[in-house]
Amino acid sequence: METQQPTPLSAGRLEIRPQEHAALVDGRPLSLTMRELQLLVTLASHPQRIMTREELFASVWGSQPRRDDRSVDVYVSRLRAKLGEALPELRLIHTHNGIGYRFSPDG
Amino acid sequence: METQQPTPLSAGRLEIRPQEHAALVDGRPLSLTMRELQLLVTLASHPQRIMTREELFASVWGSQPRRDDRSVDVYVSRLRAKLGEALPELRLIHTHNGIGYRFSPDG
DNA sequence: TCGAGCTGTGAAAATCCTGTTAACGCAGGG
DNA sequence: CCCTGCGTTAACAGGATTTTCACAGCTCGA
């Protein structure tokens, strides 16, 4: 069984409410697309854990990525851009070369 | 329990008095139709919360929308037009693609 | 009976999202 | 240096979604 998250995920000034399709910074919702939000939820559901592209893709897209698929990278980039606007001082998503990405609630 | 709103809803220069079927900007009443007002009241009663079309429809029309119903969209558009005339510098109603709409008191 | 305004619906126009590719930068090894 | 591998992001086309317009039916006073 996968770790079941309580409805709201919290990470400093960032709060994520999957049920409400919302990611809030200081109470203000970010304008995330479905994919971006799904990706953020997946990452934030496993704080400090390095997640592979395959894991992330499976969770967000519901299937196996094809060889050399860069969708995860592209959406991480888009997500970072929007998170960076709202929280310029924090880098919540970390790259792990050759493996995947990791969400760190405290930057 | 649902959030119970005090009679007058306030959002900057906009004030809404559901009891009096009135929405005022700087004290001047907007010419809103019933549906437009109901929609505005519903949205403004849940500031910063992303509301789905289903929620909005249920609240305003009192039933479930039929598949592919665009009534909510059309009335949001009509509402925006009238709000935009009175408050050209603010965008109070935000679209959340694939989900619904959100009322932000401060634009 | 007429006219004005409100409503819901369909559909065209405008806008946004998605997946994909490719250009670019950077670091390490040869 | 040059090459290679990897991550980042700009750009694009196609598809999906939203916005807006037009219209016909209704209601309600004049």
pLDDT grade, residue B3 (50/70/90)?
A: low
Q: A27 and B48: CB-CB below 8 Å?
A: yes
Summarize the confidence of residues B2-17 as an average pLDDT.
Answer: 80
The number of beta carbons lying within 10 Å of the beta carbon of residue A15 is 17
In Å, what is the separation between the CA of A97 and the C1' of C30? 22
The pLDDT assigned to B4 comes to 59
Placement of tokens 């932000």 in the chain: B104
Q: B98 and A33: CB-CB below 8 Å?
A: yes
- For A43, the enclosing helix (H) or strand (E) is helix A34-44
Please tell me which residue lies nearest to nucleotide C6, judged from CA to C1'.
B33
Q: B50 and A28: CB-CB below 8 Å?
A: no
Those residues with Cβ within 8 angstroms of residue B17's Cβ, 6 or more apart along the chain or in another chain: B7, B8, B9, B23, B24
Q: CA B76 to CA B94: how far, in whole Å? A: 10
The pLDDT assigned to A4 comes to 58
Give B24-74 pLDDT, tens digit per residue. Answer: 999 999 999 999 999 999 999 999 999 999 999 999 999 999 999 999 999
Residue ranges, chain A, pLDDT below 50: 1
Residue A101 near residue A91 (C-beta atoms within 8 A): no
